[in-house]
Chain A
Amino acid sequence: MRKALSLEFYKLRRKYVLPMALLFLTVELVWALIAVSMSFERNRDSAGWEVIVAMLSTMNGLFLPLLSAIVVSRICDMEHKGNTWRLLRSMAVQPGKLYAAKYACAGLIMLGVCLCQVLAIAVFGVQSGYLTSVPLVLLARFLFGTLVTTLVVLALQQWISTVVKNQAFALCLGMLGGFLGMVGDLFPEAARRVFVWAYYTGLSPVTQQYASEKMQFVVREAGPISSAAAVLLAVAALLFLMGRRHASRLEG
């Protein structure tokens, strides 16, 4: 598996996946952190780590489904373009193993993106002058929720990108995911539960509440979020297994 994974990274040469992911992340961070800075300046009393985490969770709903779709599409499309699925299978490469290596490759890239986000939040918070000690638990919970949601989105995107050659379809799904991730909280709860992209805010450790016509940022309890995360991980595993089975059955 390690060999298959290192080969996936080797094959990504000149695909510019990492620079593109960093560019996406930079745009998101600049947007989110400028908005947070402005908020802190307007209302110094409300300055807190929770505001940054809530802002990034909302922004992730828009950016990460798109970025996940692009990363997975780049990883899968290189096999479609040169008919290399056939080449690999004629060399007895197990389709299931290859599928898992691609998922792990996309997962590691997105893990890097999420870690960069957490690091950026910590640096920004300390540099802003309003905040002091870094809340490690809160950031770990934010990282966990973001990663779990991303794993589900990656599993779905990989299934589509593998079985449908035309990557426009997978990218459209990514765009739809970004839209639903951004506005998911406006839907009724039953609908929100179905939209996997809405869990960037759904699994966020911070939520927004209105009290006395004022918006407050409240840290959620870990229990309910952990249950939802467990269900979501099961969904990710199911989507991955179904996609892998589908890919293994493809003839060529």
Chain B
Amino acid sequence: METILSTTKLSKRYGDALRVKEVNLSVREGEIYGFLGPNGAGKSTTLKMLLGLVRPTSGQVQVFGKELQANRRFVLSQIGSLIESPSYYGHLTGLENMRVVQKLRAVPAKNIEEALKIVRLEKQKEKQVEKYSLGMKQRLGIAMALLAFPKLLILDEPTNGLDPAGIGEIRELIKALPQQYGMTILLSSHLLSEIDQIATSVGIINHGHMLFQGKLSELHKKKQPRIIIKTTDNRAARDVLMRAGFFPGVEEGALVFEKLADGQVAQANRSLLAEHIDVLRIEEQKRSLEDMFLKLTGGGESL
């Protein structure tokens, strides 16, 4: 698959704070790329730079093989976006809002009905948008982004403020878009579960740094189980195991091993018994994707 969007050492500084640090992002055609990170990680700033809404301090953005700044009009004509909260004219109806976008995008009027149908807003189109619920505004924002049926759709936290039923509906809609309309989707979220259910590739960002980028399946492979050994004297046990060539960590009154094969577990047990250290428990702790995310992002951030 061809790379449709890429950044090279993309950085953004606000005063003394470097919000985005040399991010190299790569989105391939037809995929759903989940851009994941805690609140304030730099996701929205990065997405704004991809749309030319914020000027990068340094680095480059290439979309459809063209440099963004030099080909802004062409590139943006091929992208639909919803950044942070949905943008709308509250005093106009949903249909009138769509008409404004339709005229600016210079696309056929029939696209309006189709886009409204996709987000299931066709029955509410005559209502003023200021009277819409948050979920309806969010859906209208997605309909506006879809109006030109762009090649690339950039959605920043599209399920924010939606109820569980609305989240499910938007999730199914996003999943269907690449197959039905051949779109590539770049989707940001601070919710790991959301990305896990929708995305095919993932980029994890924290404090402006890209921590991981690749297939979601690669991330799943990384979540190997840990071995935890609890003894009557953990300090002495640690010394014994270090001499035997193991390097355990200590966590909550137990020795923790990141990677240990079955044979190595048996050997560690034998070493401890040989030194007359009683082994109270040996357990395997399976890790979730959430544990991986917390490990990558330092664990202290809100999810």
Q: What residues make up the interface of A, taking CB atoms closer than 8 Å to B?
A: 3, 7, 10-11, 13-15, 78, 81-84, 86-93, 251-252
Q: Among residues 105 to 119 in chain B, which have CB atoms less than 8 Å away from a CB atom of chain A?
A: 105
Q: What residues make up the interface of B, taking CB atoms closer than 8 Å to A?
A: 48, 51-55, 72-73, 76-77, 79, 81, 83-92, 96, 99-101, 103-105, 128-129, 144
Closest A-chain residue to B91, C-beta based? A14
Given contacts A92-B76, A251-B53, contact A14 B105 (CB under 8 A): no
Q: Is the pair A87, B90 in contact by a Cβ cutoff of 8 Å?
A: no
List 17 additional contacts besides A14-B92, A87-B88, A90-B83; criterion CB under 8 Å: A7-B103, A7-B104, A10-B99, A10-B100, A11-B100, A13-B96, A78-B91, A86-B83, A87-B144, A89-B51, A89-B52, A90-B79, A92-B72, A92-B76, A92-B77, A251-B54, A252-B53
Return the 8 tightest CB-CB contacts between A and B, nearest first: A87-B87, A92-B76, A83-B87, A82-B88, A92-B73, A14-B91, A84-B87, A90-B51
Contact residues in B for A10 (Cβ distance below 8 Å): 96, 99-100, 103
Q: Is the pair B88, A90 in contact by a Cβ cutoff of 8 Å?
A: no
Contact residues in A for B101 (Cβ distance below 8 Å): 87, 91
Q: Is the pair A13, B55 in contact by a Cβ cutoff of 8 Å?
A: no
Contact residues in A for B96 (Cβ distance below 8 Å): 10, 13
Q: Is the pair A89, B103 in contact by a Cβ cutoff of 8 Å?
A: no
Contact residues in B for A81 (Cβ distance below 8 Å): 90
Whole-angstrom distance from the CB of A85 to the nearest CB of chain B? 8
Closest B-chain residue to A249, C-beta based? B55
Q: Is the pair B91, A83 in contact by a Cβ cutoff of 8 Å?
A: no
Q: Is the pair B53, A88 in contact by a Cβ cutoff of 8 Å?
A: no
Whole-angstrom distance from the CB of B284 to the nearest CB of chain A? 49
Whole-angstrom distance from the CB of A93 to the nearest CB of chain B? 6
A interface secondary structure, majority: helix
Give 20 CB contacts A-B under 8 Å.
Answer: A10-B100, A11-B89, A11-B92, A13-B96, A14-B91, A78-B89, A82-B88, A83-B87, A87-B88, A87-B144, A90-B52, A90-B76, A90-B83, A91-B104, A92-B73, A92-B76, A93-B104, A251-B53, A252-B48, A252-B53
Closest A-chain residue to B73, C-beta based? A92
How distant is the Cα of A83 from the Cα of B81 in the complex, in angstroms? 13
Closest B-chain residue to A85, C-beta based? B87
How distant is the Cα of A88 from the Cα of B53 in the complex, in angstroms? 10
Whole-angstrom distance from the CB of A252 to the nearest CB of chain B? 5
Given contacts A88-B104, A91-B105, contact A13 B91 (CB under 8 A): yes
Contact residues in B for A91 (Cβ distance below 8 Å): 76-77, 101, 104-105
Whole-angstrom distance from the CB of A197 to the nearest CB of chain B? 30
Whole-angstrom distance from the CB of B9 to the nearest CB of chain A? 20
Instruction: Determine which residue in A78, A82, A91, A252 has the highest number of CB atoms from chain B within 10 A of its CB, and name it.
Output: A91
Contact residues in A for B53 (Cβ distance below 8 Å): 86, 89-90, 251-252
Q: Is the pair B103, A86 in contact by a Cβ cutoff of 8 Å?
A: no
How distant is the Cα of A37 from the Cα of B126 in the complex, in angstroms? 49
Q: Is the pair A83, B85 in contact by a Cβ cutoff of 8 Å?
A: yes
Whole-angstrom distance from the CB of B179 to the nearest CB of chain A? 25
Contact residues in B for A14 (Cβ distance below 8 Å): 91-92, 128
Closest A-chain residue to B76, C-beta based? A92
How distant is the Cα of A82 from the Cα of B101 in the complex, in angstroms? 14
Contact residues in B for A84 (Cβ distance below 8 Å): 87-89
Q: Is the pair A251, B92 in contact by a Cβ cutoff of 8 Å?
A: no
Closest B-chain residue to A78, C-beta based? B89
Whole-angstrom distance from the CB of B145 to the nearest CB of chain A? 9
Whole-angstrom distance from the CB of A10 to the nearest CB of chain B? 7
CB-contact partner of A90 in B81, B92, B100, B128, under 8 A: B81
Contact residues in B for A7 (Cβ distance below 8 Å): 100, 103-104
Closest A-chain residue to B96, C-beta based? A13
Contact residues in B for A93 (Cβ distance below 8 Å): 104
Contact residues in B for A78 (Cβ distance below 8 Å): 89, 91
